[in-house]
Structure 1
Amino acid sequence: MKSKSIFSPQNPCLKSIFSTPLESLMATSLDLNDDSLCSNPQQQQTETHENSSETALLGEPRGYLSGEARVERAWGHWSKLGRPKLIVAPMVDNSELPFRMLCRKYGAEAAYTPMLHSRIFSENEKYRREEFTTCKEDRPLFVQFCANDPDILLEAARRVEPYCDYVDINLGCPQRIARRGYYGAFLMDNLLLVKSLVEKLAINLSVPVSCKIRVFPKLEDTINYARMLEEAGCSLLAVHGRTRDEKDGKKFRADWKAIKAVKSALRIPVLANGNIRHMDDVRTCLEETGADGVLSAETLLENPALFAGFRTAEWVDDGEEGNKDGLLDQADLLVEYLKLCERHPVPWRMIRSHVHKMLGEWFRIQPQVREDLNAQSRLTFEFLYDMVNRLRELGVRIPLYLKEKDSHVQGVPEDGLAN
């Protein structure tokens, strides 16, 4: 089943939106080679909803609750979703539908969309239609927005609430574009505005509000911030254990102790983000922080099978017993991803990015193949499948490794979709 756009009468399933620099989105018609969809959405067959609730908002606004009632509702919703522990983090131009579906095949239990710009989402039909996709298998799903205006945020959120399990507010983006646009982690300097954003959604939406934050340099400030969000109506909080200035994840270790302190201070579910490179990290993080789940970002881009226990050679200790060739490699994963892209069209720029992330080590062995890829002004699936075959013919194979205790990939459909 191909993905559809709810923003077209013939396309009832949501289209996927990618976070692209604001200047580019507003100044162009998204018709550059790498911005064009990897297949023609006009050729997709039309469908009808099996569930009429997908065509309307999910009931009346939730209204503001306080105290135990709010906490009970937060946990009731999280429990209804199965309390997922292994979650795909929001990633700029990289946590789109085909990639989410690939990660779900290999153990991810929930996923975030890329960050969506609430104002552009509200105003620009083309942005909505071309940049946000989902399908019925893509649940539980967090739809993430950046915003600095409560009314605009609510308008955007109401467009997606029938198709997700949380509307998430990005309060953690540390990049320069977030500084220029005044959103993400740069709202940490204006807590009254942050509170108004959360309250606006909590009072008016029929789905819960979640938030994703970074920590303050002082632990006390972080705890007070988290408590304020909970009081404002946040039903689930994801905590990235780095500060706004700690952008390089390889240089700065995430502070799990700060995440543990937040978890201890709050009564709603808390997720941990940072330092998740393989399943041993997942287990250690959950144990040390007490968090209700973990998010992974950069490592998943290189290895979408992380949550199924597979790990790259970088994270296999020399002489450690129990590691074996998992009979899976990144080229296998890339082929699966490309097949999902044929089913769920996305802009070529995203596909190009995933090719480089998954096959980075392979290209270091055969740099001429990477040069050929970079020379392509227009990509095609035929070229990419041939490129993988060429790497294999050149003798390149870098296996993903598996520990016996992490091996739980059984009964997974070949096309990467849930039954």
Structure 2
Amino acid sequence: MSIPEFNLLSLGDHRNPLYNPLHILQTTWETKGRPAYIIGPMVRYSKLPFRELCRHFNADIVYTPMILAREFVRNEVARYSDFTTNELDRCVVVQVGVNNVEDLLKFVEMIYPYVDGIGLNCGCPIKEQVREGIGAALMLEPELVAEMVAAVKRKYGDKVTLETKIRIHKDINETIAFAKKVEAAGVDYITVHGRTKTTRSSQPANWDAIKTIKQNVSCPVVANGDCFTVEDAQAIADLTGVDGIMAARGALANPAMFAGYDKTPWMAIERFWDLATSYGLPFRIIQHHLSQMLDGVVSRKLVKEMNETSSLVEMIDWFDNHFILKRNGDQGFATLVEPPFRIVRETAARI
């Protein structure tokens, strides 16, 4: 079984090594004087249009949503719906949820020519995933994770760049041992979310724990958690010494965060409209993205109104009624920072 050809655009077996995530992590400090900027995997929302948008605003590496290997390798419908890409989609890392060597090897065989890296999810705390023995459940299975990593590297070597995304244990020594074990198995880099699987996102991430992991392994390390601005990224990197900084919630609210904007600029909203309607996304996903981006940019009343639209056509009409929403090809498309309200008095509706 193969991935649908129309999703691949004849990308072939050879990827440009400049887009290899390991190369980016190893060179970004030297070439750009900063850590690599990474957009993490988000269920439903790290689709192709959003990935391209984030890259436009300085993201170096962008992840897909987590794909369940079990479904992907067995179900053609899952392959059509879970993964789309094109020749502009680089550097892209596909994240996989899996708990056995057989499914992982089948998944890698099908997808590796079309991505720049593959990330093994050992950190997702969602209860349904943990019950299935994937995500954060794997933090209790270091031998299994090492076995999966070693199996991929034995078969593919440098053809596949492999990451593990982990959380921390209550005992940091367990996390150090876990990280060393997967590094010894051949993993290329490790992403560390600075919380345990039961720590709420309202609690601050543990930068000291990430720093300790970085000091105890030789492979590149990425820090994840509590990054909402480019200033946050630099501060986290300075504190931990990591090679890259991953943002998820921050990027969902402001996909231009790594370009230095403290809130979503209007140019990102117009560009997202163009990408989402050109490539295609379900209406509710488009609506959610726009709701996140507009929060803090316009009044809550306007965001609520937009969220009450019930179809793509109705939502487009709503935007056109309230803003001067330019389309690709219009003069000045995707150039403004502030929203261009159509009626001057509506500026009073801003926060």
TM above 0.5, yes or no, is yes
Counterpart residue number, 2:187: 234
Note the C-alpha offset of 1:274: 1.1
User: % of aligned pairs identical?
Assistant: 30
Note the C-alpha offset of 1:79: 4.3
Is residue 12–residue 114 contact of structure 2 (8 Å, CA) maintained in 1? no
Counterpart residue number, 1:390: 321
Counterpart residue number, 1:216: 169
Counterpart residue number, 1:269: 220
Is residue 74–residue 268 contact of structure 1 (8 Å, CA) maintained in 2? no
Counterpart residue number, 1:39: none
Of 109, 113, 117 in structure 1, the residue corresponding to residue 64 of structure 2 is: 113
Note the C-alpha offset of 1:384: 2.7
The whole-number CA distance in structure 1 between the counterparts of 2:36 and 2:148 is: 26
Letter in 1 for 2:269: L
Of 259, 277, 280 in structure 2, the residue corresponding to residue 345 of structure 1 is: 280
SS at match of 1:94: coil
If asked which structure has higher relative contact order (CA below 8 Å, sep 6+), I would say 1
Is residue 142–residue 182 contact of structure 2 (8 Å, CA) maintained in 1? no
Is residue 57–residue 161 contact of structure 1 (8 Å, CA) maintained in 2? no
Of 148, 154, 158 in structure 2, the residue corresponding to residue 197 of structure 1 is: 148
TM-score by length of 2: 0.83
Note the C-alpha offset of 1:74: 9.6
Is residue 95–residue 119 contact of structure 2 (8 Å, CA) maintained in 1? yes
Note the C-alpha offset of 1:161: 0.4
SS at match of 2:120: strand
Counterpart residue number, 2:82: 131
Note the C-alpha offset of 1:301: 0.8
Is residue 121–residue 166 contact of structure 2 (8 Å, CA) maintained in 1? yes
Counterpart residue number, 2:250: 299
Encode CA deviations 1:157-196: one digit per residue, 9 max, x unaligned: 2111011111110000001121222210111122222222
Letter in 1 for 2:4: S
Letter in 1 for 2:3: F
Is residue 14–residue 113 contact of structure 2 (8 Å, CA) maintained in 1? yes
Is residue 365–residue 396 contact of structure 1 (8 Å, CA) maintained in 2? no
SS at match of 2:188: strand
TM-score by length of 1: 0.70
Counterpart residue number, 1:245: 198
RMSD (CA atoms) = 2.6
Note the C-alpha offset of 1:389: 3.4
- Compare the two structures and name the one with the higher helix fraction: 2
Query: Which segments of structure 1 move beyond 6 Å, counting only runs of 4 or more?
Result: 80-84
How many residue pairs are counted as aligned between the two chains? 319
Give the direction of change, closer, same or farther, for the CA distance of 1:291–1:330 in structure 2 (3 Å limit).
same
1:354-369 to 2 correspondences below 5 Å: 354-361=289-296, 365-366=300-301
| Structure 1 unaligned residues grouped into runs of 5+ | 1-5, 14-46, 59-72, 313-328, 400-419
| Structure 2 unaligned residues grouped into runs of 5+ | 323-340
Counterpart residue number, 1:8: 4
